[in-house]
Structure 1
Amino acid sequence: MIKNWFKNIGPGPLVAAAFIGPGTVTLCTIAGVHFGFALLWAMVLSIIATVTLQEMSARLCIITQKGLSEVIRTEIKNPIFRKIIIILVLSAIVIGNAAYEAGNISGSVLGLETVMKNHSLEIGSLRLNVFSLVIGLVGFLLLYVGNYKLLEKVLIALVTVMSIAFLITAILTKPDLSEIIKGIFIPKTPKGSLLTIVGLIGTTVVPYNLFLHASLVKEKWGRQSDLKYARKDTVIAVVLGGLVSMCIIISAAAIQHQEVNSAADLALGLEPLFGSYAKYFLAIGLFAAGITSTITAALAAAYVATGCLGWKTELKSAKFRAVWMFILFLGVLLSSLGIKPIEIIKFAQAANGMLLPVIAGFLLWIMNKKSVLGDFKNTKIQNGVGLIILAVTIFLGLKSIFKVFELI
């Protein structure tokens, strides 16, 4: 039975790997430090929303055998509207992922630097971070091999390591279970917590994951009868990914009286609880979170660009490789030079803020088309949950846009 379960593991863990990046780790840390267990309910809401949207994306791909960007290109008949959507998607995903890639690589570097001395390579007047180059090379080799099964196994292993590291960290803090249960089931919005709540949901319900999941499902399954495996894979992976995020919040809540602004500081705060081993747990978790997000961000950008532009979406095709190489190169460059691409990230946040409700709305629309999905179209319950999520994504989108332009 266990052997069959492992055989039917699909791209779900890769989706979990994609949304648990260094940004998520840091945000969850800050949420726990400043608000204790009070915002755990926001992660539960995020998990429900992510499972719902990712299931729709996977179902669409299995039934149509097309990626989400390919469906957008073929099903939106109005040429002007189609071009607008494609430009928005390409801008948000490709340019945005190039900016976020720097953060992912920097997060992995942060994990390594927690336990190892920093090394730099000087080329003329340039000083490059050696760890950034090494992480970029690892990502390059894994992606260049173009073997989906190998990539899947490596990422699942990293996600498992990351999950265990953060789970152990949470357990060793000896949290109050009754307070955790209250935080999960009793929604609270402490003073100053609104933007953190928006951030927790926004960092879990990720637009590019919908594209990545749909494309990877096609690599794994090709028959309608496989839908049950895809659903189980999605639910288990996203729930476990959400639990990892909750473990980080729980860990951080144990040191809420200390000034902690990043995940690296979390290791220092936890030392009184379990000594010098704290930094190793955190270093492993942060490194795994960074490198998995590095790979999946580049991969997602390649699937989106090739699907939108009508190119071959094969791991070994030249154009597919060119896209992820571009994303990875920019990430390594920005990370190793220590450049903070603030303006690009602001643009990415604004574009993603607009993209999430657009994609959620498109998914709901397409998932109700009998001509596309036949008997596999949405049920009334699925539509009801989907509409609630759409309303939340519109709220999140407006919040993120207002935040970027400093209107709130």
Structure 2
Amino acid sequence: MRSSLKPSNAIMTGGSDVAEPASLSCASCGKPAQLQCPKCVQLKLPRETAAFCTQDCFKASWSSHKSVHLKAKPSEPGTGTPDNEGWLYCLKKGQARTPKLPYFDWTGTLRPYPISSKRIVPAHIDLPDWAADGTPKVEPNSDLQYVVEIKKPEQIERMRETCLIARKVLDKAASVIRPGITTDEIDRVVHEATIAEGGYPSPLNYHFFPKSCCTSVNEVICHGIPDARKLEDGDIVNVDVTVYYKGVHSDLNETYFVGNVDEESQRLVQSTYECLEKAISIVKPGMRFREVGEVINRNATMSGFSVAKSYCGHGIGELFHCAPNIPHYARNKAVGVMKAGQTFTIEPMINAGVWRDRMWPDGWTDVTADGKRSAQFEHTLLVTETGVEVLTARLPSSPKVFPWLNA
């Protein structure tokens, strides 16, 4: 710990002390703050980033807070590479950290950029069991990893509420997507919208994931970490939102166009949307889970695309991930049939090139092996007595961002 705090009402600005009102909140615990990190002041970082209530709170937060100093010099927009000197690579627990961009045989043009500090969750929000230490306790050992739960009516009602919140949150994220915005800013919108609805962003600290949503750009298949890279005209970006509310989770994602996107990328995104729609259309009691992959694979290959095989749809409810597993590719070995009362996701990831994938050194970001683009769409579904209810369905108020729906 090298630094000590200074009072926030004596911040040096333009060579003179300027009195500031003590209206800041502690960057660590949220309490009223009157002290300021001197390094942040030196770097002229936003005051709300640098404020702390006590010296002890500052010391306890130092290991995570100092990352904001490392990213104080952002890279030039549009260069395609981050400022290595300012990069703090975010890794899963147990892996080494490095201040420099690690060596990796990057498959496409995308590179990781610095990430911001972990966002604060107010004390009144109900938390999943991994929120504090990053480790799910109930989920890994639950019988629901092997048995597909038939939800009770009250569970289904809670699922409907939570899924509606998740849809509203994703729609807010969609409304801010444009060239020049960072994926970290999208994450901020998702985080704040989730908290405003009384929910918890399920990805936050789940197995140590550092952000409140996933943002997967261009060749990223899934689990991209929101960072300081600005979206560029012609990009595509998937935003994956999961909300925990009233003890249950909801999960959905969509892939969006950033500015003017080339025709091939438009075809890829539309085909992925159609793959999900066709898969949903067969959901009903008695249908085998393995048929979902057959439908998706058929539609994707007819369009000249391939289906990513490393990730699948999953059961969801009081657990974030549980049985059943629902592969999206053909000739899969999924077991079981659908029954009324089951809730699960279908979330095809469709690649413009080969289906094979590569994992970035962060242990999260999964990209196409050939660097070509990938798109994804996801819904949380309920099997009903007569068919299916799309719990995360688009609303009349949802942004009109997909040309094929507008037509």
TM-score by length of 2: 0.25
Higher-strand-fraction structure? 2
